[in-house]
Amino acid sequence: MRTTADLVVSALEQAGIRHVFGYPGGQNLRFIQAMEGSRVQFVLASHEGAAGFMADVCARLTGRPGACLSTLGPGATNLATGVGNAYLDRVPMLAFTGKMGRAWRGRTVQMQIDHQALFRPLTKWTTELESASAADTLRRALEIARDEQPGPVHLDFPEDTAEEEAVEAIAAEPARRAAPHASDDALVRAEAAMRKARFPLVAVGLTMNRAGATDALAAFVERHRLPVVSTMMAKGHVPEDGGRFVGVVGRARRDIVAEFCRPADLVIGVGYDPVEFNYEDFVPRGVPIVHVDTVPADLAPTHAPACDVVGDIRHSLERLAAAEPLAHQWDMASVPTHRRRLREALMPAGRGFSPHQVVAGMRELMAPDGLLTVDVGAHTHLVAQLWDPRGPGRLLVSNGWSSMGFSIPAAVAAGLVCPERQVVACVGDGGYLMMAGEINTAVRLGLRVVFVVLRDRYLSLIRVKQSRRKFAWSGVQLYGDRYRPSDTLFGAPVEVVESDDAFRAAFSRALASGGPVVLEAVVDPSEYDEIV
């Protein structure tokens, strides 16, 4: 008998989904069993939240929706953290939760909660799978997950439904709906606003990561000789050594970036999603905004847009790049000087072993196409400005949801789906403590991943914020005096390094290793007080 669980797995196969990350429970065993012998691999994580992060990153790297799975109750609430990440970071995902059979509806039952009420604010759609309509539901779920703006869909999967005989054929995979072109009127008004400006500034955001418009952006920027800022998640679309890139908004030494941008009298937002950093946080009142994206600008009344250019971003950029070059007043020869000043401010000399030395050492030694996953914390600010990804999609970070614990499971997923590339996780010791169990997942899967832990004993970003408000350092110390590192963690070798030279040597060895390695870099966090 072909069960509904078998049908769901076949639909995942047809959609090109090759991994379902999760944790088993009594209510999802038939679903997991259905994956045996299929092209879909069930990947056991150590925590359901991590499974959500893994599914998220799998989607970013493969271009197919990610998939994750939990049991009911506490499994579902754990999974919600990873699902929320996909929701605010705009990543397509199918999130499955096991559920009690229909005979238990309306009853008081151990672990049972309303999953759809839980996931409704975290997803684009939540529904329950039924045998009679499972294929159609999967088709619709894939379509909703991928449509602009992409995000997660939640599918509650009752255990008796999974066991029932499938009554539908597999629906054809839905075709991706292309974004419509922006109107000619909007493009004309955008060009008029650009020609009126003396200091037009380009701001690139995370929608660019799925727009397929990197070359069109380069042509637009070069044609009009424009300076560019970006959000952290959009890094890599504009080369950082090409004399156009100014820096990342809202991150370390934002004052230096803001100083360069101060003359701007027009901001051209390209794929700019305010979920990372609102326009209002860096655009002064009165400065008009040309918003080139797939959805209209989200702005306060104080920041009315000059025009919304809503539609396919690549088409819009190609049209704007075809216009006669702008006659603006930016001194583009000053951008490299600004970049040197910013870099020097981020890399103060004369201290002990500092976080910036770890970042610089990793960049120097990693391959250009290597993947860096970054956790949330003070070090994120530093990486945002210093790390040159040398191409789009190579810096993986949670910045819409901005969740600690992201980078370790993100690196596990990256190592699984991109085994031919170098994969490194950069994590503070707070995020490390949250997700250390996933290093066991990397060991079990035999992944070639390096986990770099910036060990400074504190939740440094919170400590800096407490200091600036003249508060006591309360609740931020992570380790006591009795802390001792281990030589191995779940079978992964652990090496502790306390100097720049020692780190570079250890990092080189780790990159050449055939399996996961943990490097604990014991750093002086004092530079965070000045740069964050």
Q: What does DSSP say about strands 19-22 and 517-522: parallel, antiparallel, or unpaired?
A: unpaired
Q: Domain for residue 40, yes or no?
A: yes
CA–CA separation, 290 and 328 (whole Å): 16
Beta strands in 134-282 (DSSP E): 152-158, 200-204, 228-230, 245-248, 266-270
pLDDT over threshold 80, residue 264? yes
> Residues with Cβ < 8 Å from 188, sequence gap 6 or more?
none
Strand extents, DSSP E, 46-151: 66-70, 93-99, 125-128
Between CA 129 and CA 443 the distance in angstroms is: 34
Are 297 and 395 contained in the same domain?
A: no
Count: domains in the chain: 3
Residue linked to tokens 């096991």: 98
Q: How would residue 171 be classed by pLDDT, with cut points 50, 70 and 90?
A: low
Residues 331 and 362 in one domain: no
- 381 and 513 inside one domain: yes
Whole-angstrom distance, CA of residue 7 vs CA of residue 133:
11
Range of the domain at 125: 4-163
Looking at the predicted structure, is the pLDDT value of residue 37 above 80? yes
Tell whether 115 is covered by a domain: yes
CATH code assigned at 309: 3.40.50.1220
pLDDT of residue 105: 77
HSE of 43, CA atoms in CB hemisphere, 13 A = 33
Residues contacting 240, CB < 8 A, separation 6+: 339, 388
Task: Reply yes or no on whether the pLDDT at 204 is more than 90.
Answer: yes
Q: What is the CATH number of the domain that holds 517?
A: 3.40.50.970
Q: How many residues does the chain have?
A: 532
The answer to the question of residue 236 being in a domain is: yes
Q: How confident is the model at residue 379 (pLDDT cuts 50, 70, 90)?
A: very high
Per-residue model confidence as pLDDT tens digits over 84-133? 999 999 999 999 999 877 877 777 787 788 999 999 999 999 999 999 99
Residues 331 and 213 in one domain: yes
Q: Is residue 177 in some structural domain?
A: no
Percent of the chain with pLDDT over 70: 99
312 with 332, same domain: the answer is yes
pLDDT for the residue numbered 430: 96
* Residue 247: strand pairing partners: 229
Domain co-membership, 409 together with 482: yes
**Torsion sign over Cα 94, 100, 102, 104:** negative
CA atoms of 141 and 127, how far apart (whole Å): 9
Q: What is the pLDDT of residue 447?
A: 98
pLDDT digits (tens, 9 = 90+) for 52-84: 999 999 999 999 999 999 999 999 999 999 999
CA-CA distance, 237 to 340, in Å (whole number)? Answer: 20
Whether residue 262 is found in the same domain as residue 303: yes
Tell me what pLDDT residue 174 has. 67
